[in-house]
Chains A and B, each alone.
Chain A
Amino acid sequence: MMTVKELSEKYSLKAASMPEPEREIRGGYIGDLLSWVMGRAQADNAWITIMTNINIAAVGALSDVAVIIIAEGAVPDINVIETAEEKGINILLTDKTAYEIAVLISADI
């Protein structure tokens, strides 16, 4: 098991927002359709997505995921980052595909 901060350091994932660095990650879910994420992701998951709009902050908060990892080099707007910080949502960024990052971190979470 790993904290969000440890994961970010180990794999050089850039933190767009990390208000809860000590949050522990358990398992993950990949998806971009928000209702699928709310139906299937579990609390403390790493949620991997390519969505970057403001609604990911609300979905991340309500689903109680430990971290949102935005793949494919996508970058969220500044208002998403501000909202995430306010709501205690960690967001990490990577240039890798959703598949690549999932494979890479699978042994740690």
Chain B
Amino acid sequence: MSESLNFHFDVDGDNFVSAGQASVQVKKNLRRLGLPPEIIRQVSIALYEGEINMVIHAGGGEADINVYEDRIVIVLADKGPGIPDINLAMQEGYSTATENVRSLGFGAGMGLPNMKRYTDEMKIESEVGVGTTITMCVYLK
């Protein structure tokens, strides 16, 4: 594979009011690269959902976005509580979000399904008490 462009972000776990900074920054960068708007939209929504999940459910984490010639790979890694039942978590409408988080418009249980919908590949690795790593891939060709 030829050289790639990497964007790295530490996602702050305390403040989900300011969450989304990584996604907005990546969107700008992808625009600058001249990628198609629909691809940019897919990548930024999938990244934002993952970013918000790390803030709400895992106390923060790290986001890495690699842009290759033929694909964009997003890796979201956290050291949060992990996801006990991934199939259940992937179901539309399943959410463990608190009332406080729900009052801000999150907690519909649609984040993980959106990440799957907007990417071509998605892999969740999670261990209870250790953390979660989600890898997503969007094809450019």
Contact = CB atoms under 8 A, between A and B. Distances in A.
Interface of A: 32-36, 38-39, 43, 51, 53-56, 58-59, 61-64, 87
B23 interface: yes
B49 interface: yes
Interface stretch (B37-45, B59-67, B73-81, B120-128): B37-45
Interface stretch (B5-13, B82-90, B111-119): B111-119
A33 B104 CA distance: 8
Contacts, number: 68
Contacts of A43: 37-38, 41
Q: For chain A, what secondary structure do more than half of its interface residues adopt (helix, strand, loop), or is it mixed? A: helix
A58 B21 CA distance: 8
Given A36-B110, A38-B114, A62 B104 contact: no
A60 B68 CA distance: 27
B48 A32 contact: no
Given A38-B45, A64-B37, 16 more contacts: A33-B105, A34-B105, A35-B106, A35-B108, A35-B111, A38-B49, A38-B110, A39-B114, A55-B105, A55-B106, A56-B105, A59-B105, A61-B27, A62-B24, A62-B44, A64-B41
Nearest to B105: A34
A33 B49 CA distance: 13
Contacts of B41: 43, 62-64
Contacts of A64: 37, 41
Contacts of B109: 35
Given A39-B110, A58-B19, A53 B37 contact: no
A58 B110 contact: no
25 contacts: A33-B107, A33-B110, A34-B106, A34-B108, A35-B49, A35-B106, A38-B45, A38-B49, A39-B113, A39-B114, A43-B41, A51-B105, A53-B17, A53-B104, A54-B18, A55-B17, A55-B20, A55-B106, A56-B105, A58-B20, A58-B23, A59-B105, A62-B20, A62-B24, A63-B41
